[in-house]
Amino acid sequence: MRSSTINDELWHKMLEQVAKTFTEVTLSRGFTYFKQQRVEDLRLTENHMIHARVTGSEDYAVTLNLDNLSSYSCTCPAPPPCKHLAAVMMELADRYGYPSSHIMNAKHHLERAEVRSSSLVWLEQLPDVDVSEWHTFLNQYTAHIKQSYDPGIYLNLLRDQLQAMRKASNPLSDIDQKFFELHQELFMVRKLKDLSAQSSVAYFTSHVLTRAYDNIHAWLSQASEHFNFTLSPERLKQTLAYLRVQMAEEKDKDYLHFRIYAALWQQEIAPQPDAGQWVTHELSDINSQSTGDAKSIGCSMVKAYLLISQSRNEEAWTALETGGALKDAPTSLLIVFLQQLAKAGNWRDLLGWLIKSAPTFNSRLNNDMNSYMNYWKMTAAHLPEAEEHWWKVLKDMLPLSSHLIEEALYEQRKWKAWIEMQIHQGHGPFYHRVSVLQPIEKEAPELLLPYYHQAIAHHVSLKNRQDYKLTVKLLKRLQKVYKKMKAVERWDLFFHDFVERHSRLRALQEEIKKGKLME
């Protein structure tokens, strides 16, 4: 039970005195003495004086004036304040129900207390300030969290701290509370980007940033089911403006804030009936920005994104081109615009974008290239004339596009060209599963003749038992093809000649007999 003598006010003053006058080493040594119970005969006199004896190799007398905490003494030879005084203050705290560990960590405890105190004041002000002030508050609220070499740990520490605040009551309206939660997510992205700017941890931060973006995307999807963010137009304008500022300042090339901007627009604004008014307002704001910000790659991408929503697709391309996005932005961002055009059904404009963006995708074999090709397929399905352009683009991308050409030929059932490509690349029949060749065998079996004949000649020329076995498998397939073509006589003539020609290859003859191709 706390004494009327040692109260909260005096306790706070004691912590301030300790933080101001003691070194960490002295406090650590004092804490050791306290834990070893070296403080004896501690007495509180009527005039608020503390008297105690601290034992050790020698005993020392300590006095402390509670009415004037800067007035103290110890009979040890060390300069004040000493470890004996620290041990006495910890013992005093413990006896009157206060955590002795707070004496040990006085500076840290006071900092935390100050943050909690100022946070309460800030929380009351949140409804009356814009989102930039929210970020100032969040920065102050998490100031005690030190950057970690491990960005995953750092993100978790930030999230734990912010989640603790979410549990506290605040005067925000329901929709403001949702915006505030969104800006907490955005705040964590910015802190991670600050950490990523340090070259020593940049590599490790990229996947954590991706995880943070995924969290925001999931949060937006869930929030949009319950809230219409356009019902708070001022907060939404502030949020969009915040993202534009972050884009203008972005130094790396992941353009994460543009991705967030696009996700916010797609989830929260585009489905609304007044989306067109928002587009007009945003374009006006971008055009009124300072020259440097308005010409940043991120802002040029935003401008292009908005122009496409108004079907001003040529202007959108120009915005990307003049803003430098086509030169420096990753291909995954171009996919965002192709997706917009496809979703709107602007196939002719999409065809133009696919043709013009081809050089950007060339030499980059990744998932973005696969997405790019899928948009070609979609366009060709709606515009037959697109196919000719598509094949030209594929040829211009050789040799990078060889597997894409192969896939396209197969999907379009251009069997002759596909088989010629297999032969040219040295891919024999065993390179593919049997099921891959079955459609050709069914629809155009005659095209398989040169493919199988060449493969048979190749395996026989290797002159080993394993290749002879493979030769027999191919002969069986070839026999099946001739039967499919109703050309059994041609098969008989070929097979008779084949056996005669290789009659000296005893192992091959044995495998042919084992395969029951002849008696």
pLDDT at 186: 95
Give CA–CA dist 40/62, Å, rounded: 10
Distances in Å between the Cα of 367 and the Cα atoms of 326, 370, 376, 407 are 18, 5, 14, 15
User: Which tokens is 420 given?
Assistant: 């010629």
| Mean pLDDT, range 475-499, rounded to an integer | 95
Q: pLDDT digits over 418-429, tens only?
A: 999 999 999 999
Task: Reply yes or no: is the peptide bond before residue 80 cis, omega within 30 of 0.
Answer: no
The neighbour count for residue 303, using CB atoms within 10 Å, is 24
Give CA–CA dist 8/14, Å, rounded: 10
| Neighbouring residues of 322: CB distance < 8 A, sequence distance ≥ 6 | 295, 300
pLDDT beyond 70 at 294: no
> Which residue, among 317, 320, 398, 319, has the nearest Cα to 350 in the 3D structure?
317
Q: pLDDT digits over 317-367, tens only?
A: 999 888 888 877 778 888 999 999 999 999 999 999 999 999 888 765 567
pLDDT at 202: 54
pLDDT at 122: 67
pLDDT beyond 70 at 27: yes
Question: Do the bridges between strand 60-65 and strand 49-54 make them parallel or antiparallel, or are there none, so unpaired?
Answer: antiparallel
pLDDT at 1: 30
Q: pLDDT digits over 452-486, tens only?
A: 999 999 999 999 999 999 999 999 999 999 999 99
pLDDT at 2: 38
Q: pLDDT digits over 231-242, tens only?
A: 899 999 999 999
Task: Give the start-to-end residue ranges of the domains of the chain.
Answer: 8-104, 105-272, 436-514
Residue pair 193/209 in contact by the 8 Å Cβ criterion: yes
Distances in Å between the Cα of 49 and the Cα atoms of 5, 12, 70, 92 are 11, 18, 12, 12
pLDDT at 110: 76
Q: pLDDT digits over 188-211, tens only?
A: 999 988 888 775 555 567 788 888
Please tell me the least confidently modeled range out of 164-173, 175-184, 421-430.
164-173
Mean pLDDT of the chain: 88
pLDDT at 441: 93
Q: pLDDT digits over 151-168, tens only?
A: 888 888 899 888 877 666
List the beta bridge partners of residue 53: 40, 61
Q: pLDDT digits over 34-89, tens only?
A: 999 999 999 988 888 999 999 988 999 999 999 899 999 999 999 989 999 999 99
pLDDT at 150: 83
pLDDT beyond 50 at 313: yes
pLDDT at 227: 82
The neighbour count for residue 438, using CB atoms within 10 Å, is 10
Kindly tell me the number of DSSP H helices and DSSP E strands found in the chain.
27, 4
User: Which tokens is 261 given?
Assistant: 């901007």
Q: How confident is the model at residue 494 (pLDDT cuts 50, 70, 90)?
A: very high
pLDDT at 88: 95
Please tell me the least confidently modeled range out of 143-157, 254-268, 403-417.
143-157
pLDDT at 57: 85
Q: pLDDT digits over 79-135, tens only?
A: 989 999 999 999 999 998 899 888 988 888 777 766 665 555 667 788 889 999 999
Please tell me the least confidently modeled range out of 292-296, 454-458, 498-502.
292-296
| Mean pLDDT, range 361-379, rounded to an integer | 84
List the beta bridge partners of residue 62: 52, 74
| Furthest C-alpha separation in the chain | 125
pTM value? 0.67
Residue pair 242/132 in contact by the 8 Å Cβ criterion: yes
pLDDT beyond 60 at 185: yes
Q: Strand, coil or helix: what is 380? A: helix
Half-sphere exposure of 78 (CA within 13 A, CB side): 15
